[in-house]
Structure 1
Amino acid sequence: MLAKIATSGLANLILLAGIPFLLYWGWHRWRHRRALAEVACRAGLRLGAPRYLAYAAVAALFNIAVLLAWSPPISSFTSHDSPQRVFEGLGLSGTSLLMALIYGVVTTGFCEEFLFRGLLAGSLSRRLPAWLANGLQAFLFLLPHLLVLRVRPELWPLLPVVFVAALFLGWLRIRSGSIMGPWLFHAAINVATCLYVALGSSA
């Protein structure tokens, strides 16, 4: 299972971050003669103001607290098509923690934030008013999540939550010029969800 998670993380890193960044850098190198460091900065690969990291951390802790207080049934996360299914019955161990970190920090956290907030929101915010750029990137982030409804239509109430979260992450990216805050938030939520499933299904 660890190998499967690691392979998925590597694939996402290549497809959602590596190739898009090479194309992005190649365009800026050819069209504007920009150096690699400048292109990386434009893609959000910089620290940004620390207060935005604090906003992301507080928001992540709040959402994790809501998850724990709500305590949704484990079955909500363990259907045959759920990415958290591999954590079912694992309990808390070094392996399950490493798997959760790979999935939350790399596979989804970094890769999705780099693509949607780093490249997409960053590019849109340099061409459109901030509110419009943010709304558009949030809508585009929502679109892939609509595919879930084909197999799990009961999850439709989560779509507004995904959209609002995308707006918050887009705001962090545009205001800070960095994906670090969005990455921190996204990674923390997904790691916590994976460990919630691992612990909650191990009894």
Structure 2
Amino acid sequence: MQHEEVHAMSLVDAALSAFLQAAILGGVPFLGYVIYHKRRHKRTFGEIARRAGLQLGERRYIVYSLVFALAGTLALVIWSPPVEVFTRQGSAQRQFVGLGFGMRAITMAFLNGVVQTGFTEELVFRGLIAGSLARRLPIVWANVSQAGIFLLPHVLILKFAPEMWPILPVVFAGALVFGWIRIKSGSIVGSWLMHASGNVTMALMVASRTSA
């Protein structure tokens, strides 16, 4: 009984942490974006939200995104990358070590991959940054620029796993696809689907392959 309560508390803690980090890391930049457009351009909240990609967008791009997400998930499963590097101190996937493939791991993977990192990063990098760049630069340059900006924090992976440098071009390529979908559709929904699917898949691979 006590063991179940510990697991229940862990899920509650994970949920609180995911939504709190999303509110801070995604909500604060978005709030600044809203205040700027309210004061500088007198735009309504609905207009501001749409500029940030918080809309459904063209449905065909959601279909494209689902296809890309499925292909990416299958590629990860077939590739089956070594998970040892993701268990080291400093890795975001370290929290999934030893969980196994169960409801707790699935729930935590969705909280982390869909809410905490997926939504937050897509809102900031694709919603705010890519959207702003696309209104000022040619689409190609806007997309390359946002992908480069997105790559910068991921370079930190070299701090705990320098041998993982080949993953950086993959991150950059993925960001180009995410950015293209966001810019063409006017929405972050498609890129969010693709980003979240990769995060969840990797988290569950770590959880299932490190269980006793």
TM-score, normalised relative to structure 2 = 0.91
Q: Aligned equivalents of 2:208 and 2:159: distance in 1? A: 29
Q: Aligned equivalents of 1:171 and 1:7: distance in 2? A: 32
Q: Give the counterpart of 1:50 among 42, 59, 79.
A: 59
Retained in 1: the 8 A contact 2:15–2:111?
yes
Give yes or no for the alignment of 1:116 onto 2:125.
Answer: yes
Alignment match, 2:138:
129
Greater displacement, 184-193 / 83-92: 83-92
Alignment match, 1:139:
148
Q: Aligned equivalents of 1:136 and 1:188: distance in 2? A: 24
Alignment match, 1:85:
94
Q: Aligned equivalents of 2:52 and 2:84: distance in 1? A: 38
Secondary structure of 1:34's counterpart equals: coil
Alignment match, 1:193:
202
Alignment match, 1:31:
40
Q: Aligned equivalents of 1:138 and 1:121: distance in 2? A: 8
Give yes or no for the alignment of 1:166 onto 2:198.
Answer: no
Q: Aligned equivalents of 2:204 and 2:117: distance in 1? A: 15
Secondary structure of 1:45's counterpart equals: coil
Q: Aligned equivalents of 1:183 and 1:22: distance in 2? A: 20
Q: Aligned equivalents of 1:31 and 1:74: distance in 2? A: 48
Gaps of 5+ in 2: 1-9
Quote the offset at 1:3 in angstroms: 4.4
**Percent identity of paired positions between Structure 1 and Structure 2:** 52
Give yes or no for the alignment of 1:76 onto 2:85.
Answer: yes
Secondary structure of 1:80's counterpart equals: coil
RMSD over aligned Cα, in angstroms?
1.4
Structure 1, residues 37-67: CA drift from partner, whole Å, max 9, x if none? Answer: 1100110000011111111111111111111
Give yes or no for the alignment of 1:63 onto 2:82.
Answer: no
Structure 1, residues 46-99: CA drift from partner, whole Å, max 9, x if none? Answer: 001111111111111111111111222231321122111111121122211110
Alignment match, 2:18:
9
Retained in 1: the 8 A contact 2:22–2:117?
no
Greater displacement, 48-57 / 10-19: 10-19
Q: Give the counterpart of 2:188 among 171, 175, 179.
A: 179
| Aligned residue pair count | 203
